[in-house]
């Protein structure tokens, strides 16, 4: 009986591994943007493929010029060739060695201050810049973070000329954020950690929403987390 039980466990583990391998192999065939994909893709990235983003980059005059240079030559163009162009083209030209075409998309190499993290940022065309900020600030899952935290979120994945100024202007003009700002804050006690010793001894919950209404009429999600195991459940 014990040997048969062990055999059944082995078979179940093998089937799980085979299913996970199949899922990974299917996911590698996706045509979505590889420069800015994460473990949990956002709704914005799910509807944009490399081809559609490439088309928008080509429509952008400044990005199109850099793409043409990058795909036709190895050396940076001389200043006499760049001087007649606009400020955006010159800003990209100044970062020539940090720009590279990956999967037909113009991307920018970015390192953090410590130098231990390298990220390839998608160079966002003008037509998509507002949508990127909406995704990372206004979207229901973004939480309307402040200027500094929104800047960090954009910097991890995207880049365009004067992007920081655009993010600051958008966050300061956000009606939702402005309506929640208090002119004067009362002093609060310092936060203290609450230590637990067993699962479900203490839980924390929050409400996420409003989200798009589902077929059953739900528009809020209750998030429950166990303080000991850190296990999280979501209930509509």
175 assigned to some structural domain: yes
Nearest CA to 104 out of 70, 75, 74 is that of: 70
Q: Tell how strand 118-123 and strand 158-159 pair up.
A: parallel
Q: How confident is the model at residue 35 (pLDDT cuts 50, 70, 90)?
A: very low
Angle at 138 (CA atoms; ends 162, 63), nearest 5 degrees: 30
| Omega before residue 99 within 30° of 0, cis | no
Domain total of the chain: 2
Reported as a single tens digit per residue, the pLDDT across 51-74 is 889 999 999 999 999 999 999 988
Alpha-carbon distance of 236 to 15, in angstroms, equals: 32
- Give the pLDDT mean for 148-154: 84
Helix (H) or strand (E) holding 58: helix 50-59
Confidence check: pLDDT of 15 > 60:
no
Strand spans (E) along 81-146: 99-102, 105-111, 118-123
Nearest to 145 by CA among 117, 104, 174: 174
Mean pLDDT of the region 13-35: 46
**Assigned domain for 2 exists:** no
**Domain assignment of residue 26, yes or no:** no
Pair 107, 171 in one domain = yes
Sequence-ordered list of residues with C-beta below 8 angstroms from that of 122, at least 6 positions apart, any chain: 33, 35, 36, 53, 105, 106, 107, 157, 158, 159
Q: What is the CA radius of gyration of the chain?
A: 24
Q: What is the pLDDT of residues 80-139, one digit of tens each?
A: 988 999 899 999 999 999 999 998 999 999 887 777 788 898 999 988 888 888 887 777
Average pLDDT of the chain is 78
Q: Is residue 163 domain-shared with residue 218, that is, in the same domain?
A: no
| pLDDT for residue 223 | 94
Identify whether residues 152 and 219 lie together within a single domain: no
Q: Are residue 154 and residue 209 in the same domain, yes or no?
A: no
């Amino acid at each position: 009986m014990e040997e048969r039980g062990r055999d059944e466990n082995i078979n179940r583990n093998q089937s799980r591994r085979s299913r996970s391998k199949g899922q990974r192999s299917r996911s590698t065939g996706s045509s979505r943007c590889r420069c800015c994909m994460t473990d949990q893709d956002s709704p914005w990235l799910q509807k944009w493929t490399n081809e559609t983003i490439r088309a928008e980059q080509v429509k952008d005059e400044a990005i199109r010029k850099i793409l043409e240079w990058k795909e036709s030559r190895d050396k940076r163009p001389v200043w006499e060739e760049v001087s007649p162009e606009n400020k955006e083209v010159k800003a990209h030209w100044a970062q020539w060695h940090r720009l590279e075409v990956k999967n037909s998309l113009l991307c920018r190499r970015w390192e953090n201050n410590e130098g231990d993290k390298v990220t390839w940022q998608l160079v966002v065309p003008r037509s998509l810049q507002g949508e990127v900020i909406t995704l990372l600030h206004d979207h229901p899952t973004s939480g309307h973070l402040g200027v500094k935290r929104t800047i960090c979120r954009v910097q991890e994945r995207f880049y365009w000329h004067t992007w920081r100024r655009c993010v600051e202007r958008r966050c300061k003009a956000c009606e939702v954020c402005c309506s929640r700002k208090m002119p004067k804050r009362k002093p609060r006690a310092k936060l203290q950690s609450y230590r637990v010793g067993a699962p479900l001894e203490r839980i924390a919950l929050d409400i996420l929403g409003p989200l798009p209404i589902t077929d059953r009429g739900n528009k809020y999600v209750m998030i429950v987390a166990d303080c000991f195991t850190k296990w999280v459940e979501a209930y509509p």
